[in-house]
Amino acid sequence: MSEFKVQMPKMGESVQEATITKWFVKEGDKVEEDNLLFEIATEKVDSEIPSPVDGVISKILFEVDSVVDVGETVAIIKIDGEDDDDDEPADDEKSDKKASADEKSDEKTSPDEKPDEKTSSDEKPQPVTKEETTENDEDGDAEPTRFYSPLVRSIAKEDEVSVKELESIDGSGENGRVQKKDILAYIEDRKSGKTSKAVEKPAEKEVKQSDETEKLQKEKPKVSVSVGAEDQIVEMDRVRKLIADHMVQSAQSAPHVTSVVEADVTNLVLWRNKVKDEFQKKYNEKITFMPVFTEAVAAALREFPMVNASVDGDKMILRGKVNVGIAVAKPDGNLIVPVIRDADQKNLVGLTSSLNDLADRARNNKLSPDEITGGTFSITNFGSFRNIIGTPIINQPQVAILATGSIEKKPAVMETPTGDAIVVRHKMFLSLSYDHRIVDGAMGGAFLRKIADILEEFDVNRKI
């Protein structure tokens, strides 16, 4: 019976370590492929890690609350000899055998006698570490957007399956995870000509913060706070600490400017009131105003590519995709921002379905890491808390964020054939915070006005 080393998975380009928050198994437990092993927390998201193989938990190397580097072995599973690599001795066994062979060789060789070139340790091939394998892998520059077990990665490397191909495989495991049988079936289909090998392009990497910004983060000013006898001290939880650091970092790195417009959304309100019951009956989805806001934002971002961008030092990165993040309040009071990818390519039904699904799983800690990364623009809804306006902080490395306020009935002056008249209209405030390094007031104002115009011109007779 051989051993399989379960490693801390890489959960994203910028994630180098994770905290083990829960073990679902203990030493001696039998597990099957896809059974949950442990739960981890990163600065991006909390995730449950499944077992990549069948076997028995031989050793758990880290306790709960341990901070573990990516790639570090966290547990050992004893497995049977079905896998191809089971016939090979473990790395530790190889090292022991090599050391034993070296000792025997030394005993046979006298001090004055030089070892033969064939037996020289300098000429012996050294085992390739996993770090070297990653660096030499032709897909090393491509970053997967979902978790793959070491076994699946090993099979992919051996059969030259690129990251792009892996991303295209529909997994049969929990949450669509690719299992051994899935990748073997894909390879078999590729050999038979049912699918072709994809050409992998380097994946887009997250923009790294400058050394100056990192220095400012480390040198946070300390404020002296006095504590009274009746005061209560409450420690921030892990997520709140991460949010606090992220907000401070954003405020320090980007000069924020906020523009505000008031939009007349009467047509939108009347349309939603008219179709919401039919929409839910037809698509089994509850439609709110947020999918319409997202649709308007996606259309405006295509017209203003400089707002759909990031800043890297003195370079501007114009994003090729429109991935809109929607801030969701969790039951514990913290916020998370799931991302609707390719929002400009989805219709209103698709946006509604994606938004409802992501928001529901966000509130229940069921999001995967790739579902909260890669956003190019964010929306936060102050109106859900009956607030009329707000000045949000940019979600780095993006350059802008939209805040939507509460929709209220207000008296408004409208022109009629017989003159001006005061009527009741549904109005709301839209506020846009943007990075003044690349988005100036003219562009920010025009972009915000474009969103408002799209909402104001909404077709009250639009079909669902």
Active site residues: 436, 440
Phi first, then psi, for residue 272 (nearest 5°) are -65, -45
- Asked if residue 65 lies in contact with residue 188, where contact means CB atoms within 8 angstroms, the answer is no
SS3 sequence of the chain: CEEEEEECCCCCCCCCEEEEEEECCCCCCEECCCCEEEEEECCCCEEEEECCCCEEEEEECCCCCCEEECCCEEEEEEECCCCHHHHCCCHHHHHHHHHHHHHHHHHHCCCCCCCCHHHCHHHCCCCCCHHHHHHHCCCCCCCCCCCCCHHHHHHHHHCCCCHHHHHHCCCCCHHHCCCHHHHHHHHHHHHCCCCCCCCCCCCCCCCCCCHHHHHHHHCCCCCCCCCCCCCCCCCCCHHHHHHHHHHHHHHHHCCEEEEEEEEECHHHHHHHHHHHHHHHHHHCCCCCCHHHHHHHHHHHHHHCCCCCEEEECCEEEECCCCCEEECEECCCCCEECCEECCHHHCCHHHHHHHHHHHHHHHHCCCCCHHHCCCCCEEEEEHHHHCCCCCCCCCCCCCCEEEEECCCEEEEEEEEECCEEEEEEEEEEEEEEEEECCCCCHHHHHHHHHHHHHHHHCCCCCCCC
How far is 370 from 177, CA to CA, in rounded Å?
13
How far is 285 from 9, CA to CA, in rounded Å?
35
Q: Quick one: angle between helices 180-191 and 150-158, nearest 10?
A: 20
